Structures are given as C-alpha cells and as structure tokens.
Structure 1
Amino acid sequence: MSAVAVQMNKALFHALTVNQFDVPLIWQLIKRAEWLRGKSRDEARSRLQGKIVATLFYEPSTRTRLSFEAAVLRLGGSVVGAENARETSSSKKGETLEDVFRVVGCYADAIVIRHHDQDELDRAALYSPVPIVNAGAGSGEHPTQALLDVYTIWREVGRVDHLTVAVMGDLKYGRTVHSLLRLLAKFPGVRVRLFHPAPLGLPDDLAQELAQAGLSLERAPDIESCIDGADVVYQTRIQFERLAGEVDPKAASLYALTVSHLALLPDHARILHPLPRVGEIAPEVDSDPRAAYFRQVENGLYMRMALLDAMLGGDER
C-alpha cells in the first residue's frame, strides 16, 4: 500500500462529518474517483474482493442506498443489510445503536448507515469495530453527498475555488446543504448567495460556524438576484416531512427554477440538485446543457466507490 493510501486509510476509519475532510484529502478522493472511472469493470472488481459491506437505513432512501450498494458491487464486494432498519426486531426490542454496530461489525468489514440522529450516530460510532459511513443523518449532515457535489463542481466547472454559488430551498433541514457549505468553506474565494422561505434559513450555529471559517454568505431577496451570474446553482427541495406547518406548500413555487431563469446564467454555469426534486426545477430545464443533476448522480457512484476503496485499504496506483 502506498504512503498516500496509508494516510488516507488512517484519516478515514469513519466518515461521519465533512469536518474530517481537508482539501488535500478531498483532492485525493477526487483523484481516486477519476482513476476508478477509467478502469474496466473487471479491473475495478478486484478492489473489494472478499469484503462485505452492511447497509443499515433507519430512514427511507432510494438513490443513496442503491448508489452505495452499486459502488460495493462494482468494486467486487458483497452487500448485506436492512432497507428498513427501524422495523427490524432489534430496533423494536430497543437495542442501542452502539450494540447494533458491535453486532453487525462481526459480520461486515464496514457499515453504511442512514440514521435520524447525527449525535447518536457520532456517539455509537465510537463503539464500532469496523468503519462507519454516514449516508445521511436526520437534518444534520450528508458527507458523501457533499463530496460528490464538490466532485461534480470540479468536473463541470473546472475548479472549486473562487466561485459564486447560489443555494436555494430548505436550508434549515437540508443536510446536503449543511455538508456542502462546510466543504465549500475550505476553498478560497467562494461566495454563496442564499434564497429560502423565511423560516427555513441556515441554523444560527451553522451560519456562525461558516462565517468564522471565512465563507461569504449573502441572503438574496428573490430567485433572480440569487442566481444572476452564478457559476453554480444548487437547488434543493423543501422537506415538508420535517416541517410542522412552517411553510405553505403553495409557497414552494416561488423557489422553482424555470426555463425563463436560464438567461441569467452564464454558459459555463451548472445547475445541481441532490434529488429527488418535487417541482423546484421545471422538467423543461433538463435539456439545457447546464443542467448537471443527472450527471451528478453518476459522479456519486464513483465518489462513493473512491471513498469505500480508500477506507477499506485499497492501494492507490
């Protein structure tokens, strides 16, 4: 194993928060994702041969779960898991997450988990004998989504620094936004414009954290001023399942990106969305070359392959 691979493996025993990833480590993962993208399927299948990854999803997931499972299979590993982990007998009987990790760690070489509580996940990971990957934790963080978002920005725009990024939608409960902004704060010269329903702004503690990290944040009064001239538009859905009547569903239309808005974007700009979308990007936008959200999905497969390959000890060639 190369010195770089050893260092990466040591830094990534768990992947719970984007705060674990400094810029050199992010670039190493991007480099690894590009390397794996260029490999044939037969070559890639040797990377995790004989490894077993357990997937535990305590909250619903389609894209993230399938993306991780496909990443493991593409690398030659095997997957065991529970799609509805909250409905398993151990959960119904009240087994702690610490004990779940201790038990499942006897069967698998790593655990990919989506959980409803970031703090509980962080505490329980201390007891796991195998690496834990956070596949989304309530309204807290979604580190692998942020990594694939940065990877997509780099592939599509050509850089991650000195960008104007428009971020819209649910910034209070949107864990993808929380993680992405923390990563963008690590790169110089990034300016972020925010547009969101009044009750759904960034949590105060996160806004303070980002300001202390030097990230430029500006609240826009409307969608036009938010996206005008932006290099990247990051659109997100309003998470009504986490709301208690805080936002009128009819108000969501005020935050929708339509074809008429595209004239405000430069040719090099790219539109991203963590998906699923539920009306906040009009389908007519899909045919515009600046719409990168489906390419973003594919990039997620390779970034998750890179992360698992790094965490489980794959040598970097």
Structure 2
Amino acid sequence: MKPQVTIIMATYNRAHFIVETLHSIQQQTFQDWECFIIDDGGTDNTQEVIAPILEQDSRFQFLKRPDSYQKGLPGCRNFGLDKAQGDFIIFFDDDDIIHPDNLKTSLSVLLEEQVAFCHYQKKSFEQDKPEFKFEKCKILQKINVDNLYDVVTQQIGLASCTVLWDKKCFKTIRFKEELLYAEEWECYIRIISSGFEGVIISNTLYFNRKHPNSNTAEFYSNNPIRKKSKSDTILLVISNLKDKKIITNQFLRHFIQMAYDYKEFNLFASIITTLEISGFIKLKWQVFYVFFPVRLYLYSLKKKMFS
C-alpha cells in the first residue's frame, strides 16, 4: 500500500549530520511515510554511513539525482515530487532535527481544517540537541491570497522545511531549477497565489542547524551566486503577481526597496521593465528609489533620537 506522507530530502556531502536527521525521522509518532534521500552528486561517504539505516528500514530510499534534473536543491526536490507516492508532501533538510510529533500534528491539522497546507514553527540550534516540547496545538491564522503580502515580505516565513503540503498543490507546480537560493519562497508564492489556502500553527516542530556551510549562511555572507539567485527570484515573483493581476503599489514599493540591496544586478531597472512601467509613473518610482537611502537614514536618526 502506498504511504500517506512522502518526505523528500536532498543531500550533498552531509555524512557528518545526516544520520542524526534520519534517526529523528524514524522517531516520528506518525509512521505511515516514505522518505526519498536524493543525492545531488556528493563526494563524501554519505551512502556508506546511512547503509545500516537503509537496510533496517525500507521506508528510506537512497536515490541519485538523474541528469534530466538540474544539479541543486530544486532539481532534487522536483525529482522527489515526480516519484512521490504519498498524498501529502514534506521537505526536510539533511542536517536538521525533526520533532517527533511533526507529521502527526501537522497532518491532523491539515485534515481537520480541510486546507491545502499546514505551516508550523522552527527553531535554530548549533551544538546542543534541541529540547522537544509537547504542546497543545493552536491555530494562529489562515494563509491565502488575501494575506499574500505577508508571505512575500516574509512576515509569514514559509521556510522550505516548515510546511506539510497536500500533494495537489504540486500537480502543475514545480521548483525553478535554475535558482540556487530562495527557490522555495518563489514556489510557495506561486502556490498560494493560485488559490490554495493553509493555516499557521503555534507548535515548534522543526529544528534547523546553524553552520557556515548552509545556503542561508552563504547568502548572508554575500555569496554572489546566492545573491544573484535572490535577485532573479524577485523578478519571477513580480512576473507571477503581474500575470495573476494581483500586484499592487504596496507590493511594488516593497520590491523597489529591496532593489536597493541588489544594485549590482540592476534590479530596479529590471523591475521597471518587467512591469512595463513608463511615463510619469516610472519617474515617480525613480525618485522613490533614488531617495530611499535618504529616507532610511532619516528614519534611523529619528529612531535614535526618541529611543
């Protein structure tokens, strides 16, 4: 019989972390799952160190990403989506720890609320193993196109591994394989802007390991490849919102403010071109963009004076 949940985990040279991650999956109180461990061309001994787990537990499958999928996280996840047997999909990273009630809690909420996805909380850790709390589930709010702005601005932070999805969300949607950062942000915005609704719950069910070799750490250390990917992702999000006719001045103001951090990629000019803005409206946004750093400085000055 097919499993109810498919776990998709891309891996690349994480032999030193992945065993602990897989053990936390085995300790799930909900047991009806399959887990695809998709190797992205790693060169360490990952397959060797997880061999005892693969032999012991047939729910795990170790797979090599085929060349028909691009190298990288999005390609691995798309391969996993195309192989998934479960009715529900969840993405886990190969260096993190999962709360024992992750699948049990998120799936029960998704089914009870009759929504397409359930977003839970995460907490970072470095060395010490996180402490699990078993709390009563509390629904904080719904997520749909009406509060998409909060998802775009990441006030609602739909991280790649903090959402359980109904498989129908991915019936026609896949990750953009050319992206090397923020690919889940772009993909999840496409899902929600297509009309799928979900809920946010209060429970912390995922623990992400902080270390310098993660994609996020590389982005915040100004890795040019990750930063260029984020710039490209912003344009894809804008194009999607434009096509769905839901982009507003509020969205545009936010993206133009973001463009200031991507000057080396001429993001502001690309936004104007993508949205086909011209004439007086174009001039207005050019003035806004030019004077944005001045406004930031005055705001910070005012904050210091009254703090």
TM range (shorter): under 0.3
Q: Which structure's residues are more often strand, by fraction?
A: 2
- Compute the TM-score of the two structures, normalised by the length of structure 2: 0.26
Q: For CA contacts below 8 A with separation 6 or more, give which structure has more relative contact order.
A: 1
TM score, norm. by length of structure 1: 0.26
Larger Rg: 2
